[in-house]
Amino acid sequence: MAAPPTSINDLLNGVESIKDQVKEIREIILANLVMMGEIPAPTFEEEARIRFFLDRFTEAGLDSISTDEVGNAFGFIRGSEGEKNILVAAHTDTVFARTVDHTVRVESSRIFGPGVADNSLGCAVVASIPKILQHLGIQLKQNVLLMGITRGLGRGDLEGIRFFMNNAKVHIDYGLFVEGAQLGRLSYTSVGMLRGEIRCNIPDEYDWTLFESSGAISILNEVITKMMAIPLPTKPKTTITFGSVSAGNSYNTVPTSGSLHFEIRSEQTGMVGKLQQSLEELTDEVASNTQAEVTLNVIARRRPGGIDFSNPLTKAARRIQESLGIVSKIQPSVGELSALIDKEIPGLTIGITKASQMHSLNENIAIDPIFSGLAQLVGILQAMDGEFFDE
| Rounded Cα gap, residues 215 and 201, in angstroms | 9
Compute how many other C-beta atoms are within 10 angstroms of the C-beta atom of residue 140: 20
CB within 8 Å of 267: residues ≥ 6 apart: 191, 192, 236, 237, 238, 304, 332
Minimum distance from CB of 31 to another protein (Å)? 3
Closest CB to another protein among 106 and 217?
106
Secondary element (H or E) of residue 263: strand 257-266
Question: From CA 238, how far away is CA 264, in angstroms rounded?
Answer: 7
Burial of 358 (0-12, 13-18, 19+ CB in 10 A): middle
Of residues 65 and 367, the one with the C-beta less far from another protein: 367
Q: What are the start-end ranges of the E strands in 275-361?
A: 293-302, 305-306, 329-330, 347-353, 355-356
Measured from the CB atom, the residue of 111 and 340 that comes closer to another protein is: 111
CB-wise, 26 or 343, nearer to another protein? 26
DSSP lists the bridge partners of residue 242 as 262
What is the C-alpha separation between 83 and 249, in angstroms, rounded? Answer: 60
Cα–Cα nearest to 224, from 184, 270, 282, 267: 282
Instruction: Tell me how far, at minimum, the Cβ of 30 lies from another protein, in Å.
Output: 5
- CA terminus-to-terminus distance, the chain: 26
Residue 117 or 286 having the CB closest to another protein: 117
- Compare residues 28 and 48 and give the one whose CB is closer to another protein: 28
Strand partners, 73: 67, 148
Min dist. Cβ of residue 135 to another protein (A): 10
Q: Which of 26, 237 has the CB closer to another protein?
A: 26
Query: Cα–Cα distances in Å, from 274 out to 38, 230, 296?
Result: 43, 11, 14
Q: How far is the CB of 351 from another protein (least distance, A)?
A: 22
Cβ distance to another protein smaller for residue 106 or 240: 106
Q: Which is nearer to another protein, 104 or 260 (CB)?
A: 104
Query: Which spans of this chain sit near another protein (rule: CB under 8 A)?
Result: 25-28, 30-32, 34-35, 38, 59, 103-108
Q: How far is the CB of 108 from another protein (least distance, A)?
A: 4
CB of 96 to another protein, least distance (A): 17
CA distance linking residue 61 with residue 37, whole number of Å: 23
Shortest distance in whole angstroms from residue 91 CB to another protein: 24
| Shortest distance, position 27 Cβ to another protein, whole Å | 4
Question: What whole-number distance in Å separates Cα of residue 191 and Cα of residue 302?
Answer: 7
Residue 156's alpha-carbon distances to 46, 134, 143, 195, 302, in angstroms, are 11, 34, 28, 12, 13
In 106-264, which ranges are continuous DSSP H helix?
121-136, 159-167, 216-228
CB of 61 vs another protein, minimal distance in Å = 12
